[in-house]
Structure 1
């Protein structure tokens, strides 16, 4: 690989990885904790040992320990098939493929959840920033974050870890 191409790729990766840190949707300071999905009819509660047994180490680190996968590592970033993106932990339908868009960040991005009650939003003040964390309303899996720099019609960008999702192709 020639040096110019390598430096351009490296610069683009550094820029895209920094996007979530420079754009955020301020959480409502009056709200602490969960802000939606509280009346979800189904709940899945398991012990840490049960989750570890069911999930891969990477899935567990992201979904159960609030980790973040490396950008551009999930095959779901490039998935353009019609179908539904589900929680990898409890299989709850979360996002439809027709709301997925190319954000250039390296993570699957959506402008709206399948149902508002499918997710919970929680104020996240980690790393010296105020962001809005997105969790599965059924099992509390960490999915990613939501930012206010997305496309119409919502203006939102749900930046979701691909390892926290599974894809079900539309029949």
Structure 2
């Protein structure tokens, strides 16, 4: 789907399950302290659905795309977007943070949404990712909502450019 000299972004496959779940869990545990505040209960709730069984189910869903960023067969990031344009996952390995991986994965998710006919993407951001999304053209579009975390999630949206006439 997206390639450069060092990384490829592609659709996830069932064989990615163990590595993808490890990235999801490490990203939340190690990078999202502003959200879970190292509270064991909050962290356990947030991680509770990041299981091998659930990942395989997400990959199998016909109205959902799960993408992975890969370098030398190592998964660096995991993202998902529904056919309706809602981003559900966008997590980067702590080992790949601040290397452009999250931004590349976000662009791939947005491209997938546009390919499915959406003119915008929606998501609920963590406190940790809030500045990242704002710097990538997302705007807040409602009051904060509750979630797995001790802080609120921030509903956000971004208008997508049209793919009509582009090759």
Per the normalisation by structure 2, the TM-score is 0.29
TM-score in terms of structure 1 length: 0.28
Which one has more relative contact order, counting CA pairs under 8 Å at least 6 apart? 1
